[in-house]
A and B are shown apart, each in its own frame.
Chain A
Amino acid sequence: MRDTVMEYETSKVLKFAREGKRVDGRALDEMREITIETGMSENAEGSTIVTLGKTKIIAGLKVDIGKPYPDNQDEGSISIGAETLPLAHPDYESGRPSADEVELARVVDRGLRESKAIDFKKLCITKGEAVWVGFLDFYALNGDGNLFDAGSIAALVTFNNAKLPKLDKEGKIILHEYDGKIKLARQPLLTTFAKVGGKIMLDPTYLEEKASDARYSAATTDDGFISAMQKGVGGSFTLEEVDYMIDKAFEIGDKIRKQIKQVK
């Protein structure tokens, strides 16, 4: 029954696409409305809820003291995880991270990491002994497509606002006391497109993703760099299409960065 409904809905998306339209009335290159809220979790060193249309996700950062890797004695580290909770959509399942979740987390991670926005050397506490280890996890609360961009915004805002724990004389974390922030050198953001019925759509919904042949994301920075790209799903893009999407990604990225600047 659900499959039949799904088939009907996706065929509608395709029919609209052929006429250059979208089911929700947006232009092909129009983003859904974004809202950003921070600081909901008191136990987290930073937390953010982002809504992107009906998509809603929560991200949180936990920071702990760890040993540096043998080949990077004076560098801390971060890792990013993503979960599509069954709470957020009837099609999401619990259990081991699916390939989709792993890809989602890794693409958001790469956009941030490869932009060198975070200087891992600044996360060093004592060379060779103690460094800051950050775990940023984000969870879908309501899934309606494009978790990539929602996750990327949430991750960036969380790091922008994160506090580092205060240490006592023995170098142990004092709970709920903070000292300093993680300074970001630039502001990387992902922008994601789907190819639906031969048309390029910015910020695809869940149904548009279901109806799509291919997906493309680019991470752009405020100072003109591309820091990550990812093409997904079976179909393909022409070089012209990729070039168009990169230009659009910079334009949209700058718009969202402006909105992020207002967030406290």
Chain B
Amino acid sequence: MDRKIDYKKTKKRLDGRKMDETRPLSIKTGVIENADGSAYLEWGQNKIYAAVYGPREVLPKHSADPLRSVIKVEYRMTSFSVPQRKRPGPNRRDQEISKVLGEALSRAVFVEQFPNTEIGVYVEVVDANAGSRVACLTAASVALADAGMPMRDMVAATGVGKAYGELVIDLNKDEEDAPDAVDIPIAILPNSEEIVLLQMDGLLTRKEWDAIAKLGIKGCKQVYEIQKKALVEKFELSEAKGKSQVAKEKTVKKKTVKKTVKKVKK
């Protein structure tokens, strides 16, 4: 990337965003029919499917926990989701991400209600441009809620960090490649502000961290609003469907009533 780029001078980011502006984010529930809960999320160029199955029997059996449900996350990317083809099958990065995402979600779900079971959470990235793990966590959380899982809160996540001399939220790929880039995936339970995911690599001063933490929590809360909106839409939709269903049944009833009336007259 061009070393001359300086966000302190440009005041705007490479893609025109403000420093504290998140890329466009939209979430839809109920996209995978076989799943108990599911979500499709678009976050900038990132496109993610998430599906939840369970609570169900744990296989292999010895990995069951007699006190709680085990949340098993599988984070995967399709081979064509990145500019350089990714070899199919999970690599070490996928495995680590799966682990930390599962740990983050375990805090949100009342796992102790389903001992000896497994909740399978599968996230698939079909197009990626930086920040796919926080996008996956955000989608997975909505899919869990869509499955009707008892939860103490949602998990809302965002990327935050530093690029081209400024502190920024939700870094894109160009910013991740900046010479001074610091990328910090962070996730919180928005109501208690508990931090459930935090990773970082790069160089930061203590002062920068203070500002970044604030920015990150603010970003997560914005994400939380969109998660809530997706869930509200789900129930509004099903309510509307329910109403039309009732209306249909009513007309059917009327017709049958008329027929029976005719028969009686005969």
Q: What residues of chain A have their CB less than 8 Å away from a CB belonging to chain B?
A: 40-45, 47, 54, 56, 58, 60-62, 64, 81, 83, 85-90, 94, 96-97, 135, 137, 139, 141-144, 175-176
Contacts and interface: CB of A to CB of B under 8 A. Distances in A.
A84 B128 CA distance: 21
A94 B246 CA distance: 42
B127 A43 contact: yes
A61 B76 CA distance: 17
28 contacts: A41-B78, A41-B81, A42-B129, A43-B127, A44-B127, A45-B80, A47-B80, A47-B127, A60-B80, A64-B84, A81-B79, A83-B88, A85-B76, A86-B53, A86-B120, A87-B32, A87-B50, A87-B51, A87-B74, A87-B124, A88-B32, A89-B34, A90-B34, A94-B74, A137-B80, A137-B88, A142-B32, A144-B34
A159 to B, nearest CB: 13
Nearest to A83: B88
Contacts, number: 97
Given A41-B81, A43-B83, A85-B122, A143 B34 contact: yes
A58 B78 contact: yes
Contacts of B80: 41, 43-45, 47, 60-62, 135, 137
B45 to A, nearest CB: 6
A222 to B, nearest CB: 27
A135 B51 CA distance: 26
Contacts of A176: 83
A28 to B, nearest CB: 24
B47 interface: yes
Nearest to A1: B57
A86 B79 CA distance: 16
Interface string B104-129: 00000000000000001011101111
Interface in B73-93: 74, 76, 78-85, 88-90
Contacts of A60: 78-81, 126
B122 A43 contact: no
Given A83-B88, A88-B34, A40 B53 contact: no
A163 to B, nearest CB: 13
Contact of B34 (A58, A137, A142): A142
Please name the 9 residue pairs, one residue from A and one from B, whose CB atoms are nearest each other, closest first: A60-B80, A87-B122, A62-B85, A44-B80, A41-B127, A87-B51, A137-B79, A62-B80, A142-B32
Contacts of A64: 84-85
Contacts of A141: 32, 49, 124
Given A42-B45, A141-B49, 4 more contacts: A43-B128, A86-B120, A86-B122, A87-B49
A152 B51 CA distance: 25
B201 interface: no
A54 B34 CA distance: 9
Contacts of B88: 81, 83, 97, 137
A139 B78 contact: yes
Contact of A137 (B35, B56, B78): B78
